[in-house]
Structure 1
Amino acid sequence: MKIMISAEGPELTVRVGHRFGTSPYLIIVDTQTMAFEAVSNPAADNQKGGAGVTAVVLAIGRDVDAVLTGYCSPMATRYLTENGIEVVTGISATVADTVEQYKKRELYDAGGAAGKINPGKTQVDRSALAQALKSSTRQFAGLLPILMAVILSIGLFTTFISEEILSVILAGNPGIDTFLGACLGSIFAGNPINSYVIGGALLEYGVSLFAVTAFMTAWVAVGLVQLPAEIAALGKKFALVRNAVSFVMSLLIAVLTVTFLNYFTV
């Protein structure tokens, strides 16, 4: 059996790291042979959140059976347990002692009393929880002005660009219509149901199915109007790449959809 233990150093004599995601080292131990490998945690200095994801990926990638640590966030615990990895928290002994206690199915909890392993159980770090709530509140407050601007932009677009105008623009070459449909769908935003209603009306006006399909797909997947909010929340690089890929995919989906429809209706 292989177990992963968060550690303050690369040796078995060091103490177990307090936090799974930001411990300096993650030591993988074979409980049968006691052979071990100390892996430097690349997210050890990450204080901005998301460090647990790196540690979770390492644990899953190394195919360990259990993770032993001082504290593991609820989200990281969920991902680990969903992948069949046992999670044991509240440990403050040395790595070597922890391995022996685990092999005997006895570990010390945070209060110092001997107890049995409880897979998937985490202890709530109240200070970390309070900090997370404060951080989330500040982030939401920072996004409010951007969200208000997004709502205003959506209202302006839906008011001044009618379905009749769209039907005039999207009439002609299927290739150009597909591209223009994706462009317009990228600009518009709102509930996907609205795109179905507009798409149905456009078909009645004689707009090609290529354009309507691209329009509806881009409406859902691409969001130029919401781009400032997405950049603020998820980062500029991610937002730009995701929207660019989604735009290209909306073109491909439109072509494939119409092609398959024509094939099966022949």
Structure 2
Amino acid sequence: MSDPDPQLVAAAEIRARIDTSKPHSARFWNYFVGGKDNYEVDRELGDHIKQIFPGLVDVARTSRHFLGRAVRYLAVDQGVRQFLDIGTGLPTADNTHEVAQRLAPDARIVYVDNDPLVLAHARALLTTTPEGETAYLDADLYDPDAILKAAAGTLDFSRPIAVMILNTLGHVAEYDRARALVSRLMEGLPSGSYLVISDSTSTSEGMIAASDAYNSSGAVPYYVRSVEEIGGFFDGLELAEPGIVQVTRWRPEPGDSSGTDAAVDAYGGVGRKA
């Protein structure tokens, strides 16, 4: 009898780690942005939260548009060619590597997540232009040193790198710890590197109620923070204009009908390391 295919064994092990009995943050978000990689339990929670706070759908979709604008700003205006995307989530349209390599074919992107479901879909993230490179790390935000060490296999740490942490830091319950993790990542990067963050914020009663409902569902909790706390992640960095603002209002592009001018309970910004 021949030995089992290692790839099939690995795929089976990944599937065994996926729990479909409880809502899942990446699948829940995937449902809100119109994706298909979700289960009934995720859709049920999503529909329940839509009744509590319909604005969360706008938060999900406009946060995605913010990602695209931030990558375009970095690749086109700042000449950045390296991106470290932590808390990748499930692939949808216009992922970091797709936006970056469309504008700069030689861009190199490393995705980081420790979620078995995201790992199972990682191949969809590994397409690349011939000139560039895309890699995926099965690694944990709570171990920034391991992330930096592994990312050095793809990225050149003598050149600027943009760290993308979108809708992820809310999963770190302790604010001081979240700030320490971000600080350690930026300490390991060269001058001229960038930090891109967006997260849901405690800026309305509806968002707070939605967060409470989500955290009571059995999913991994997500804690909304104040605008001031989001700004704290950028301490020591030079903020790009217009600073820390609602994601809809960060460098909106004329004629772009994919976003919205409406106020949303999600703030973001881009900061540069001197």
Going by fraction, where is helix more abundant, 1 or 2? 1
- Indicate the structure (1 or 2) with the bigger Cα radius of gyration: 1
